[in-house]
C-alpha cells in the first residue's frame, strides 16, 4: 500500500530554481513554470498551483528565522504528509521547487518523496546581476518578500504578514482577437514576522561549540584539534582535524560521525551544512600517540 501511494509521485518530473535568499526566485518562479509547462510550485513550505495555495504552511508566518527555515525544509512530518497527499490526488506531471542551494532543493524533494531533480535552473541564468543586486538590497533594507500567488490568497490565509501586491503584465504572442495581448500575473509582497524582529545569525564560535558537543556525544575518546568553519551562499562547510583511538574502524565510524554532526546541527538550528570534512591527524593509544 505504501508503494501504491507513492507511485503517482514517482512519475513526476522535478525541476528546481536555486539562488541565494532574496535574489528574486519567488518573483520569477511563475515565468520559469510557464517556460517548462510546470503546474505546481513548492516555495517556502507552500504547495502552489494556478495562483492558489493548495497545501503546506508558509515559512513567512514564523516568528523566528530558524523556525522559518525548518518550515521551508518541511521538517515537520504533518506538513510533509499534507503536501504529499495533495500531490498524490492532483496527479501532477511536473513540479518546481525553490531553494537557496542544490542541497536544500534535493532535501525537500527527498522529504516529499519526489523523484530526484532532473533539471536545476540557477537564478543567474534568468536574471541579470543588476536585477539580483536590486532584489537583495530590497530584501536587506525593507525586509520585503514575494509569494507567487495573488493578494487575495495571502489576505485569506496569512493576513498578518500581507504588505502589498505586484501586477506583472506580459504580452502573449498573436493577435488580440485570437487570444493574444497582455496577460496579468499578480504576486504578493509580505513582511514575515521574523523580519520585523531583526536577523538571527549563528556565529562561528557557537557553531564550533555545537560540533564539539556532537563529537563528544558520539565518542568521548575522539579529540578535536582544529576546526575551520566556512560560510558561503550554499551553506556551511566544516573542516575538522581530530585524533582518534587506535583500532577505530575508519570507514564506518568516521562516516557515521560526519552524518551525526550534519543531522544534529541541521535539526536543532535549521541551517544547512553543505559538507563536513574530517582530517585524522593522529591515532591515540594508552595515552600515547602514533603519527
3-state secondary structure of 84: helix
Q: Is 115 in contact with 95 (CB distance < 8 Å)?
A: no
Percentage above 70 pLDDT, the chain: 79
How is the chain split among helix, strand and coil, in percent rounded to 5?
Answer: 45, 30, 25
Q: Is 73 in contact with 108 (CB distance < 8 Å)?
A: yes
pLDDT digits (tens, 9 = 90+) for 224-252: 999 999 876 667 889 999 998 887 666 67
Rounded CA-CA distance 53/150 in Å is 10
pLDDT at 149: 76
| pLDDT of residue 4 exceeding 60 | no
Q: Which of 53, 41, 48, 34 is nearest to 17 (CA)?
A: 41
| pLDDT of residue 9 exceeding 70 | no
Interval 10-18 mean pLDDT: 88
Band of pLDDT at residue 184, cut at 50, 70 and 90: low
Who wins on pLDDT, 48 or 149?
Answer: 48
Interval 190-217 mean pLDDT: 79
3-state secondary structure of 128: coil
Dihedral sign for Cα 243, 248, 250, 253, please.
negative
Who wins on pLDDT, 12 or 3?
Answer: 12
Which residues, other chains included, contact 35 with Cβ-Cβ below 8 Å and sequence gap of 6+? none
pLDDT digits (tens, 9 = 90+) for 86-134: 988 887 889 999 999 999 999 999 999 899 999 999 999 999 999 888 8
pLDDT at 168: 61
Q: In terms of C-beta density within 10 A (0-12 exposed, 13-18 middle, 19 or more buried), how is residue 190 classed?
A: buried
Interval 42-64 mean pLDDT: 89
pLDDT at 3: 41
Band of pLDDT at residue 5, cut at 50, 70 and 90: very low
pLDDT at 249: 66
Q: Which of 73, 127, 116, 125 is nearest to 235 (CA)?
A: 73
| pLDDT of residue 2 exceeding 50 | no
Band of pLDDT at residue 55, cut at 50, 70 and 90: very high
pLDDT digits (tens, 9 = 90+) for 26-51: 888 988 998 999 999 999 999 999 88
3-state helix/strand/coil string of 176-210: HHHCCEEEEEEEEEECCCHHHHCCCCCCHHHHHHH
DSSP letter (8 states) at residue 61 = G
Phi and psi, residue 177, nearest 5°: -65, -25
What's the mean per-residue pLDDT of the chain? 81
Amino acid at each position: 500500500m505504501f508503494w501504491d501511494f507513492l507511485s503517482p509521485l514517482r512519475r513526476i518530473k522535478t525541476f528546481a530554481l536555486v539562488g541565494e535568499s532574496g535574489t528574486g526566485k519567488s518573483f520569477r518562479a511563475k515565468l520559469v513554470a510557464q517556460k517548462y509547462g510546470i503546474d505546481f510550485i513548492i516555495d517556502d513550505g507552500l504547495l502552489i498551483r494556478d495562483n492558489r495555495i493548495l497545501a503546506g504552511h508558509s515559512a513567512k508566518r514564523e516568528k523566528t528565522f530558524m523556525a522559518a527555515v525548518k518550515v521551508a525544509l518541511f521538517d515537520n512530518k504533518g506538513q510533509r504528509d499534507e503536501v504529499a497527499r495533495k500531490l498524490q490526488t492532483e496527479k501532477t506531471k511536473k513540479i518546481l521547487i525553490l531553494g537557496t542551494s542544490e542541497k536544500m532543493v534535493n532535501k525537500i524533494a527527498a522529504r516529499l518523496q519526489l523523484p530526484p531533480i532532473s533539471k536545476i535552473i540557477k537564478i543567474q541564468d534568468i536574471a541579470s546581476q543588476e536585477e539580483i543586486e536590486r532584489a537583495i538590497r530590497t530584501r536587506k533594507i525593507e525586509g520585503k518578500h514575494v509569494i507567487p500567488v495573488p493578494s487575495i490568497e495571502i489576505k485569506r490565509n496569512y493576513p498578518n504578514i500581507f504588505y502589498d501586491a505586484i501586477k506583472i503584465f506580459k504580452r502573449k504572442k498573436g493577435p488580440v482577437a485570437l487570444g493574444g495581448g497582455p496577460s496579468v500575473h499578480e504576486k504578493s509582497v509580505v513582511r514575515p514576522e521574523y523580519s520585523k524582529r531583526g536577523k538571527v545569525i549563528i556565529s562561528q564560535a557557537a557553531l564550533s561549540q555545537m560540533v564539539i558537543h556532537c563529537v563528544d556525544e558520539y565518542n568521548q575518546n575522539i579529540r578535536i584539534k582544529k576546526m575551520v568553519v566556512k560560510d558561503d551562499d550554499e551553506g556551511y562547510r566544516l573542516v575538522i582535524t581530530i585524533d582518534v583511538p587506535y583500532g577505530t574502524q575508519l570507514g564506518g565510524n568516521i562516516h557515521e560521525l560526519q552524518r551525526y554532526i550534519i543531522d544534529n546541527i541541521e535539526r536543532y538550528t535549521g541551517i544547512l551544512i553543505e559538507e563536513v570534512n574530517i582530517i585524522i591527524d593522529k591515532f591515540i593509544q594508552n595515552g600515547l600517540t602514533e603519527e
